[in-house]
Structures are given as C-alpha cells and as structure tokens.
Structure 1
C-alpha cells in the first residue's frame, strides 16, 4: 500500500499531483474558452488545451510510476515532450496566422525540427546514439526554432502588425520557449555530463517547469485571444 500512496515527506510525489491538477484545470479552462473567443483564435486556444491534456496524462502515468518505484524512466518524459513541444511550436504558427498567413513551408520546417529535437535528445540520453552528439543536435534544433521566433517570418509579421495585444502575447510565449525550455537541456547536461542528479530533484524540477512551459504558455495564448475578441467590433443587432 505504501508504494502507491503519497507520503507526507514525498515532495517529488506532491509536485506530480500539483502539476497534474494544474494541467487538468488549465485544459478544462482552455476547452471552455474555445466557445468564448473569436473564430480566428479558436485553433491556437484549442492547441494549447491539447498540450495541457497530453501533459496531464503523461504526468498521471509518471506519478503512478514514481509512487510505485520512486524512479522515473526517461521515456515517460520524452513521450510527452514528443507531442507537446511540436504542438506548442505549431501554436506559434497559428497564433501569428491570426494576423497574416505564414508560408506553408515554415509550418513543415517547424514541425519536423521540433520533433527531431526531442527524438534525437531521447536517443542520446537512452544510449542509442552518442550522447554528446545527440545533445548538440538537440540544441541546434532548439536554436533554429528560436531563430525563427526571433528573426524569422513569424517575428516579422508580428512586428509589422503594430497589434499590441498580439505583440505582448507573442513576447511572453517566446520568452517561455527561450528560458523555460532551457531547463530541459540544462537538466539533461547535468544528468548526463555533470555527475548526475537525484531522480527526486529532477522530477521536482520538471514538474515545476510545467507551470511555466505548459500552463503559463496556454494562459498567454488565452489572454491574447480574449483581448482580441473583446476588442473586435461586434455586429449591430436590429431593433426589430
């Protein structure tokens, strides 16, 4: 029984529960919000809801494994990242598409690079490929995504729009992907090349990171969508 029950001293197990409840709450909020926002914003909000749902299911699975073994195989983290990270990158694409449609080729480049970024890092950390080389390739993929967000067509569309709510939302989303996502390769580096780190400390770090990288990201999308919906001119109703 003790192996499947959250103990008062199990801080790591507690962070799994906190992250799980937070992700579920955000997923429900975002799904409801698809009925509140303007049509152009439904897809970015819905994608953020899917990210939260996938992360919640992944956290639930990882929590059960942690309570039973007090260890988390890396596959549990990477399975979730392989879905949520590409979806978040595509959320940027459709977020910006509310202003002007970016090139279709950019959509596929972002999708492929974001998937490869996660897969290559997993293969290196799991021992299928050279760990250092895989780590560097993963970093290159992340830097490419950041380059598109800071200097590419997406940034150009947002900067030229002079749309303050969209620019503010894009700023916070981009900041999360820049600083928040840095936690993952940093922990990967410490665990693989810096002498290692305890499983409990790693679990706590990743669970707390979800509040920034998943929950805050989705709330930034929602806040922008609500501001744009409220600011949009409403059709006048007939008096008759």
Structure 2
C-alpha cells in the first residue's frame, strides 16, 4: 500500500476532490512558511500566537499531502486521517483564543474548556461519520457533536472569551470578533460536508446527495485555518504600529 501511495498518479481534469487536496496542501504550506518567517518580525508578546498559527497550517499541509495520495490510490475519502488532522489543529485554534485573551486575565481553565469542547465535538462527529456513516444514527451523532460546537460559540460570543477580549483593548476585541465569525460561519461549513457524506444526512434524509464531502471539507479547512492565522497576524501588526505611535 505504501509503495502505491508513493507512485505518481495522474489527476483527471474533472477530479475536483484531488484538485482541492492539492491546492489546500500548497496554500497551507505557503501560509506556514509565511507565519514561521514572520515570528521574528513580530512583537515578543505575540510570537507564540504566530508560531501556533504556523503549526496549524503546517500540520494540515502534511496531512493534506498524504490524504491527496491516499485518495488517488484508493478513491476513498481519508476520513480517519482527516479527523487525526482536526484533533491536532482544531484544539490549537482554540488555544489562539486563550493566548490573545491571556493578558486580560484568561485562566488555564478557559483553555481546557475550549480544548475539551473541541475534542468532544470531533470525537462524536467521527463516530457519526466513520462508524455510523451508513446508518440513520449518523444524524443523531451529528446533533451530539453540535453540542460541543455551540458551547464553543457561546464562550466566544457571550462567555469568558468575549468578556476578556473586551477588557484587553479594542485591537484584541476586534480580532476576537473576527475569529468568532470564523467559528460561527466558517466552522458551519463542516456540517454541510458531514450531511453530504453520511446516509443519515440531516434528520435521516441526505438532502445533499451528490455533493462531495471532501471538497466541502477541503475548502473549509483552507478558509478557516489560514484565515485564523491571518487574523492573529493582523492583530500583532496593528498593535506593533500602535506601540510605535504611542512611543512617538
């Protein structure tokens, strides 16, 4: 199997799944290089946040490189490897909220709440997609998974994260609100892929039959993971400019 994955497999012009895997891999690799190089050009208090942004896109790029080859070799969705990627990158995205609100008093307990909710969301989503993906129970597990998602949304929009961000200053508040929109709207892309990829679909009915879950997931990953990093980078640069103006 491994030797087959290493073989060069031609990609048909109509193979949009493989194309989005390739573009996603290149986009996130390029984003990783950018974030890693910009760490040294960033104020010290934001360097860990930029580094985490680079790690998120780098981990995703490595997984996408493998998932593309897996898909071409087997013509199957790399569900297991995708969830491995998400179990590493989604909690790191939650870590970003803790890092940018830490200076306003964010406690380690908040970090664990976000990580626990994200892991719960992903594990139950995997059960519904990979274990019960061909049965009616998949929509039930999808509903259970959404509990973790909405808890994260609550913390970011109305809970501790929102309150801490407002206390941290206008730049942090603005950045947090942008990230919150990514979670509310950008992460909402993934249930579309889930519905398309499971027989259970939406309340037992696959209303998106024919739509490729991998295309949806690939687009969602590129938008959310790169977008998260760019928001953090913009925050770091805006505060850098503000500090220079204040000194002048």
Q: How high is the TM-score relative to the length of structure 2? A: 0.86
Query: 1:117: which partner in 2?
Result: 121
Q: CA deviation at 1:168?
A: 2.1
Aligned counterparts of 2:16 and 2:193: Cα–Cα separation in 1: 19
Q: How far apart are 1:81 and its partner, in Å?
A: 0.9
Q: 1:151 aligns with which of 149, 158, 163?
A: 158
Aligned equivalent of 2:52, options 43, 47, 50: 47
User: What do you get for the CA RMSD once the two structures are aligned?
Assistant: 2.4
Give the whole-Å Cα distance in 2 for the aligned partners of 1:11 and 1:73: 15
- 1:128 shift after superposition: 6.3
> Could you say if the C-alpha distance between residues 7 and 190 of structure 1 is closer, same or farther in structure 2, counting changes exceeding 3 Å?
closer
Residue aligning to 1:61? 66
Question: Quick check: 2:118–2:148 contact (8 Å CA) kept in 1?
Answer: yes
> Of residues 206, 213, 219 in structure 1, which corresponds to 2:230?
219
1:188 equivalent in alignment to 2:199: no
Gaps of 5+ in 1: none
Matches of 2:129 and 2:12, distance apart in 1: 30
Please, which moves more after superposition, 130-139 or 57-66?
Answer: 130-139
- 1:102 aligned residue: 106
SS of 1:102's equivalent in the other structure is coil
Contact 1:120–1:134 (8 Å) recurs in 2? yes
Report Cα offsets for 1:12-43 as digits up to 9, x if no partner.
21111111111001001111111111111011
Deviations 1:67-113 (A, max 9, x none): 2232213112211111111110111110122x313122111111112
Give the Cα separation in 2 of the matches to 1:133 and 1:202. 18
Preserved CA contact (<8 Å) 2:165 2:172: yes
For residues 235 and 151 of structure 1, the distance between their equivalents in structure 2, rounded to whole angstroms, comes to 31
Partner residue in 1 for 2:178: 172
Question: Aligned partners of 2:170 and 2:114: how far apart in 1?
Answer: 25
TM-score normalized by structure 1? 0.88
2:29 counterpart of 1:24: yes
C-alpha offsets along residues 50-77 of structure 1, whole Å, 9 cap, x if unaligned?
A: 1101111111111001222322131122
